[in-house]
Amino acid sequence: MRPLFVRRARQLVTLAGSSAAPLVGKNMSDLSIMENGSVWIENGTITAVGPDDELVRRFADRLAEAEVIDARGKTVTPGLVDPHTHLVYAGSREHEWTMRLGGATYMEIMNAGGGIHATTKATREASEETLYEESKRRLDQFLLHGVTTVEAKSGYGLSLEHEMKQLNVAKRLHDTHPVDVVSTFLGAHAVPPEWKHDREEYIRLIVEEMIPEVSRQGLAEFNDVFCERGVFTPDEARRILEAGKAHGLTPKIHADEIEPYGGAELAAEVGAISADHLLRASDDGLRRMAERGVIGVLLPGTAFFLLTNAANARRLLDAGVPVALATDCNSGSSPTVSLPLVMSLACLHMRMTPAEALAAATINAAHAIGRAHVIGSLEPGKKADLVVFNVPNYVQIMYYYGVNHAETVIKDGKVVVA
């Protein structure tokens, strides 16, 4: 493979130096930006990052063989990382959106058999091939927006057979698509209709059958629970997350989205890698998260699309909780693949600075899925996942909102979008 030389970025945003621990507090604004910076790439890996003249000198005898990308006047960042998606599902729920625009709430629709249940029905009915094709289309769109790694949750199968089908599709996508897919088991996304009158039995199935099998087949790294009144209680979530831990699955949690429910506290107690949503997390919950280093994954696209106030990121940042950002891509509460738009919303509705938003969608997002040793920053030894944005500085990626500025995407050292 020829070396790849990305040269002379107006802003090369490296985010170097934070692979060991997530950025927190004031450090979230420290992007380590280089002007007129270049990156030398070999065999899918970053070999060197530095001022252009320095790299030209160092690789003088190999310049002729390298493929060159001229990034003059542009901004180069690490490939964006989306640490919370429901990528693999079938169908679409625009009719529910129309109902919500008319005044119905998300929970009303779910309790009437729509919401997660509607997507579960469509996902169960879809063949593995259809599920693969529908999800692949979304993954293609993620890539076009500069996203090179996504986390993907199951949770629309809600039976051993169909959860496995979803996780198998995620694995196939990881194996066949340029975007890396990191899987999370979310059997506890909802109690499916057939167990509505015996939720205890459904939880037993998760704990005694699904988790062991997912773990045995190595189909997920993380185990997530939708912990919310009317879905799973904190006690149920604790049992499920502890069972996952016993089988090597790291806990994640959908926490305190609709009302304060002890989700942030539970995340700290079980040592979750992240707690996500957190719109209504208590002060004490946030303090405990900060103490245990639990990352807060904020999802401003979801609040925007559900017509609710977004989480106040400043509360988390002031409490010392490292913040990451994600799309929550799903057909009910956030049908988007645009992580850059989510970054704009984080600035507009959550009071994050553009610098914090970019750190939250790169290195901190990588930490939220246990990948910060390989992705999330531009440093020698890391995977060569980079985006060239056709704007002169990183703020414009978010400022010109709703526009896709990603021009060239490099994944594992290969140009995959040009």
Return binding residues for 4-imidazolone-5-propanoate: 93, 156, 189, 257, 333
Binding region: 84, 86, 93, 156, 189, 254, 257, 328, 330, 332-333
List % helix, strand, coil for the chain (3-state, nearest 5). Answer: 40, 20, 35
Answer yes or no whether residue 328 interacts with Fe ion by CB under 5 A: yes
Six token digits for residue 180? 């890396």
Q: Single out the residue of 75, 85, 119, 154 in contact with ligand NIG (rule: CB under 6 A).
A: 119
Q: Is the CB of residue 380 less than 8 Å from the CB of residue 48?
A: yes
**DSSP, residue by residue, 97-157:** HHHHHTT--HHHHHHTT-THHHHHHHHHHS-HHHHHHHHHHHHHHHHHTTEEEEEEE--S-
Restricted to residues 170-209, the positions that interact with ligand NIG (CB under 6 A) are: none
297-316 mask for ligand NIG (x: CB under 6 A)? -----x--------------
Q: Is the CB of residue 187 less than 8 Å from the CB of residue 203?
A: no
Rounded least distance, CB 148 to Fe ion, Å: 20
Answer yes or no whether residue 330 interacts with ligand NIG by CB under 6 A: yes
Binding region for Zn(2+): 84, 86, 254, 328
Closest residue by beta carbon to ligand NIG? 332
Q: Which residue has the tokens 């904020």?
A: 298
Q: Single out the residue of 7, 254, 371, 383 in contact with ligand NIG (rule: CB under 6 A).
A: 254
Q: What residue 408 binds from ligand NIG, Fe ion, none (CB within 5 to 8 A, per partner kind)? A: none
Interior CA angle at 273 toward 267 and 276, to 5°? 65
Answer yes or no whether residue 332 interacts with ligand NIG by CB under 6 A: yes
The count of residues interacting with Fe ion (CB under 5 A) is: 1
Nearest Cα neighbor of 115 from 169, 187, 189 is: 189
Rounded least distance, CB 37 to ligand NIG, Å: 37
Cβ-based neighbours of 220, under 8 Å, separated by 6 or more: 154, 167, 183, 184, 185, 214, 249
- Nearer Cβ to ligand NIG (223/333): 333
Judged by CB under 6 A, the stretch of 41-49, 138-146, 329-337, 389-397 that binds ligand NIG is 329-337
**Cα dihedral: 276, 226, 230, 288 (round 10):** -50
Q: Single out the residue of 22, 37, 78, 115 in contact with ligand NIG (rule: CB under 6 A).
A: 115
Q: What residue 116 binds from ligand NIG, Fe ion, none (CB within 5 to 8 A, per partner kind)? A: ligand NIG
Alpha-carbon separation of residue 60 from 52, 55, 64, 66, 405 (angstroms)? 12, 8, 8, 11, 32
Q: Which residue has the tokens 């910076």?
A: 37
Q: Single out the residue of 333, 336, 344, 362 in contact with ligand NIG (rule: CB under 6 A).
A: 333
- Interface ranges with ligand NIG (CB under 6 A): 86, 115-116, 119, 226, 254, 302, 328, 330-333
- Interface ranges with Fe ion (CB under 5 A): 328
